[in-house]
Structure formats: C-alpha cells, structure tokens
Amino acid sequence: MLSILGHSTGSRGMCDRISRRRAIQIGSIGTFGLSLADLLRAETAGLVQPGARSRKSVILVWMHGGPSQLDTFDMKPDAPAEFRGPFQPIGTNLPGLDICELLPAHARVMDKCTVIRSFSHGNGDHWAAAHWMLTGRTGANGNDRKPRYPSMGAVASHLLGPKVPGALAAVNMNDGGFGFHGAAWLGVNHNPLQCGSFSYGNEAGSLPTSDAKSFALADGLSERRLIDRVSLRGQLDDLKRRVDRERSFDQMDRAEQQAMDLVLSGRVRQAFDVSEEPQALRDRYGPGWGEQALLARRLVEAGVRYVSLNTGYFDDHGNIGPALKDKLPRHDAAVGTLIADLADRGLLDDTLVVVAGEFGHTPKINKDAGRDHWPQAQSILLAGGGYRHGQVIGSTNDKAEHPTSRKIGVEDFCAIVYHAMGLSIEDTIVDLTGRPTQLVPGGEVPKELL
C-alpha cells in the first residue's frame, strides 16, 4: 500500500484525528513509487494533443521470457523429434492453420487473429530484447539494465492520454518486461499504474491482480465522512511533491482532484472489481492470469488507453513439456476468452490484443529437455485493433529456425501497436536535449494488416 498523501506535520491530524498521510491509500501502485495523482499529471499539464481523441486501446499480453514458436503457432510435425517437441497440432476455425493442442480456446478464435510467424531480430539478451520491443529502441542490456527510452504505453500516455477524462492512460499488471513498461526520461507522471508483483512461480495465484479493495479508504474513514467533513483541498494540501531530476513536475491541483475522483467514485476504481462479472464468464477466463485478462477488458471499457499484463515466465531451458502443460492451458483460457469476450461486446475492432515475448526459443531441444534463447524466429499473435485478420503472415523453414518469407522486425512490431492507437512512428516526442525524436527510427505496418 502506498499513501497518496504526503508527510504529516508532527502530531497534526484532521478534524477527526486521522493523520493526513493515512487518510487515503492506493494499493499496489508498486515499484515506480508514485501517487495516483502523479500518474494523472500528463493530462493536467496540457501535454495531451488537442486532436488526440482516439477511442482505440491496446492490450499487450507479454509472455515474459519468450514463448517457443514450435510449441505455440509454428509447429513442425514432420520435423525430427528433437525439433518438433512433445506436443501435437490441432486444427482451428481458420482453415489451414494448425496450432498447439494446449491452445483450444485460441483455436476457436483464430478467424479473428493474425499470426506473424516470421518475426525476427538478432538479440538473445532478455533485457536488451525486451527493452527493444517495448520501447522501439536499443540501449539496455543484462549488464546495464537502466531504461533508455519510454515504453509504448508511456508514449501513448504522453501523446494521447486516456480515452475518456478521469480515466488512466496506462496500467501494467505484474510488469514482466524487466521494468521496461515505464516512461524513462519522458517523466515519472507517464509511468503506468502498477498492479501486482511479478513472480517466477507457476502457480495461478502467484500473480495477483488489484481489485476494488485496493482503493479503500484507510483507518475506517468512510467516503461520506471524507466528503462531508474535510474539503478536497484540505485533504490534499500536504501531498508529497516528488521531483524527478530528469523531468520535474508540480502544479498538481487538477491531478489531485482526479486522483480523489478515482478513489471515491471513478469508473477505473469500479473496473477493478471483477466480482461484478458473471461467475460463468469468470470461470471461462480462469483464475490468476485469466483474472488479469478480464480486468484488462474492464479497464479498456473504463477508458484506459494501454493495458499490459504478464502471463508467467516462458524461458524454459529445461523440461519444457511439463512446464508448458502447466502454463499454456492457463494462458490459453485467458487470451482466448479475452479475444472472444471483446468480440462479443463489440470492442475488438477498437482494441488491439497483441501477444508476444522478447524472443523465441531454439528449434532443437537441448540436453535438459528444454529450449534456449533464439531471437531469429518468434510467432506473434494479433487480434482486433481495426486490422484485417484471419491470416498468417510470413513463414519459417522446416525447423522454425529463421524466416523464409516476409520477415517482420522490432520496428514493424512497434509500428503495428502505435498505428492501432492512431499514432505514427513518424510522430515525435521531445528528448532530454530538447530535440524532437521519432517514436521509432523505422519500420512499417505490414500491408497484409491494412
């Protein structure tokens, strides 16, 4: 729990003897160390482009550690056993496309999806590859992990803001991206609201989500007492003003009020209460990761622009068969149900669902019955976002080692995500030197999607 209020002064309290710093607490904001008001400053400071009124959202499902292409969407059943792995392919509702037998919920929605089989880049370092994919720029690596560039979610917060006033621009669940979902030098006010904490465990309950209780008022202070007995200004006049040495921020008055609105009655707060959903639907999503996916859908409905969530750790250097038998069915229920649910609600066209990790894994099974890092080939799943779907883009050779057609790179991946929100890679943000810099230094949206 992180207090939204600043320091109390001595023993001074409010009229009902509750100290200011204990009046309102926001749960699970996490390692970024920000108050909720901080996260709303972008809109307050007038940084949102006047013409940015897009209703488009992105849900990024990050498969931390990197999914194996041969055990998901690019199976090679005719390859030698040491390549094809332990699983069999199954048919889908998209004729001609077979996927892993552990993905039956995906199989029912593949007509609404695009599989990019020819995604490829050249970096097998977890940190370097994740930074590259999540920001569009290189820089960080396993030995020097500091973010060098803002994430796509932070850029969306800066240039677009939330879809509706009073919502949040970006929310991240359980990180999963080695800390590269943040805003870097763009300013701490554009970091996402951080929910939950990452765990390397495989248990469904090891990756908890926030819920409505995370926005509760502390010390038994009721909403009515807060409204009736203490003015908004009086509650917030001791708000701690943090200053990031690379991008300072102040003038938080409107952001403070929006933060209070979220705590008391905001639709984003309500969105965290997934218990409002029918139990049958919650069962389809499943617990843990499924609950996160359901929350992601509720957040975009509530006006959040960019939601990222993490479904575990897929860097299976050993015993990949048992590991994926545990993880993929839960990932399958979460993602397959999310796509179907968005479609049923008429939200899929305005919401890009993108499923990826930082790289693929080696085609050949190693001596420990696992697969190692392999950035030369990865399969990426897309759904919605206004794109044309029901297709496979690109191909790999007979062992899924490298693309044989239509190679797609990191910059193209970022272009796809930005375009789905109404942005272009040629749009600019101002860097620390005061110079405008393009969102991504190259790349394009594959014409097959348009």
Average pLDDT over residues 86-101: 97
Domain that holds residue 418: 31-211+276-449
Asked if the model's pLDDT at residue 226 lies above 70, the reply is: no
Number of domains making up the chain: 1
**pLDDT attached to residue 227:** 43
For the stretch 107-141, what's the b/e string if a residue is b when 16 or more beta carbons lie within 10 angstroms of its beta carbon?
A: bebbebbbbbbbbbbebbbbbbbbbbbbbbbbbbb
Residue 413 forms part of a structural domain: yes
Residue 9 or residue 401, greater confidence: 401
C-alpha angle with apex 363: 357 to 364, nearest 5 degrees? Answer: 135
**pLDDT attached to residue 252:** 40
Residue 264 forms part of a structural domain: no
Asked if the model's pLDDT at residue 79 lies above 50, the reply is: yes
Asked if the model's pLDDT at residue 301 lies above 80, the reply is: yes
Largest CA distance in the chain: 75
**pLDDT attached to residue 86:** 95
**pLDDT attached to residue 242:** 38
Strand duo 89-91 + 98-100: pairing = antiparallel
Residue 18 forms part of a structural domain: no
Q: What's the pLDDT tens digit per position in 285-300?
A: 999 999 999 999 999 9
Q: What is the DSSP letter of 395?
A: E
Residue 418 forms part of a structural domain: yes
Residue 259 forms part of a structural domain: no
Residue 25 forms part of a structural domain: no
**Alpha-carbon gap, residue 390 to 401, rounded angstroms:** 24
Average pLDDT over residues 419-432: 94
Asked if the model's pLDDT at residue 417 lies above 70, the reply is: yes
Q: Which CATH number is 180's domain given? A: 3.40.720.10
Residue 267 forms part of a structural domain: no
Q: Which of 47-61, 111-125, 182-196 has the highest mean pLDDT?
A: 111-125
* % of the chain at pLDDT higher than 90: 63
Average pLDDT over residues 379-385: 98
For 25, the enclosing helix (H) or strand (E) is strand 25-26
Contact 382, 105 (CB under 8 A): no
Asked if the model's pLDDT at residue 246 lies above 90, the reply is: no
Residue 240 forms part of a structural domain: no
Question: pLDDT grade, residue 198 (50/70/90)?
Answer: low
Average pLDDT over residues 310-320: 95
Q: What's the pLDDT tens digit per position in 121-162?
A: 999 999 999 999 999 999 999 999 999 999 999 999 999 999
Q: What are phi and psi of 396, to 5 degrees?
A: -125, 170
